[in-house]
Amino acid sequence: MTKLLFDQNFEPRYGQAVSVRDGLLRITCNNPSPLTFHGTNSYLVGKDRLILVDPGPVNEQHLTALLDAIDGRPLDAILITHCHVDHSPLAVKLKELTNAPIWGCAQYSRAPAFEELSTTIMDGSNDANYAPDRVLEDGEHLTLAGSRLKVIATPGHTMNHLCFSLLDYGVILSGDHVMGWSTTVVAPPDGDMASYMASLNKLGEQGELRYFPAHGGEIHRPLSYLKALAAHRRTRENAILSAVQNGCFTVSHITDKVYSGLETKLIAAASLNVLAHLQHLYDQKLITYEGPISFDSHFRACERPS
């Protein structure tokens, strides 16, 4: 089994356009947090004409840095991987300034299993004003700014998450679905663990390309890393199942057991991951619960066949 190793060596260089390869610039917003690492990476693709991927949050310094990097060149489109507030809100201002259309993910939607879930900490993380000019479809091929792109739907972190394969660059812009500095939060109500695992497999079918995520630096040897991420999730899920089998019946009890010693500021996010895993275990008929899934649900292991 490939061991999951994170790479947290990353210099954000706020306000600067960093060339990560010829024709691909990364500009990092100064919005660090426990969930965004050093901040959100925006990417400019092209030379004479450009595409912008994930403009980031409303942040005047970042807006200035992006406009400096664009340097008056035509912007063919603003692409959005998903509509969390650290990724999409600045698109509105940039569209106003550049006349570039906003293309990308669909608007926010909950995962079917969590439609009746009460408010969570993630509800405020979605960009309520996100309104794309065009919703991109899985497998769609685009030619923008002289570059060929393939759209890859990767639900999991959010149900509307997209990755973009830059076919002329041998690069996948992986958004928040795959990051090298940490695992991805799969947080209900718009995060779904079964979808996330399926999307990892789907990315693995794309081949050994270079990955540049929306937070942190390049992911080296991404196929091995994808396998390690999947194995890590399976191990975590087995630990959650074991906790239920041994008498931990609520999300809070399971989180305390499985994430023992976790920093207080990360416990809420961890509990959402646990809830997503519990739904996945339920789908596999390994646990049960009554009524709509919630943080107050009592989870019990299913009886094993004799």
pLDDT tens-digit readout, 89-128: 999 999 999 999 999 999 999 999 998 888 676 777 999 9
Strand partners, 27: 42
Strand partners, 172: 165, 211
Q: How far apart are CA 257 and CA 253, in angstroms?
A: 6
pLDDT tier for residue 306 given thresholds of 50, 70 and 90: very low
Q: What are the tokens at 198? A: 């399926």
- Quick one: pLDDT at residue 1? 53
Residue 257 contacts residue 243 (beta carbons within 8 Å): yes
239-270: per-residue pLDDT in tens?
Answer: 999 999 999 999 999 999 999 888 888 888 89
Q: How far apart are CA 50 and CA 46, in angstroms?
A: 5
What are the angstrom distances between the C-alpha of 268 and each of 111, 157, 215, 263, 274? Answer: 19, 16, 20, 10, 10
Mean pLDDT score across all residues of the chain: 94
- The domain locations on the chain are 18-220, 230-301
What pTM, to 2 d.p., does this model score? 0.95
Quickly name the fold that domain 230-301 has.
Arc Repressor Mutant, subunit A (1.10.10)
DSSP-assigned letters across all residues of 199-262: HHHHHHTT-S-EEEESSSSPBSSHHHHHHHHHHHHHHHHHHHHHHHHTT--SHHHHHHHHTTT-
Quickly name the fold that domain 18-220 has.
Metallo-beta-lactamase; Chain A (3.60.15)
Per DSSP bridges, beta strands 24-28 and 41-46 are: antiparallel
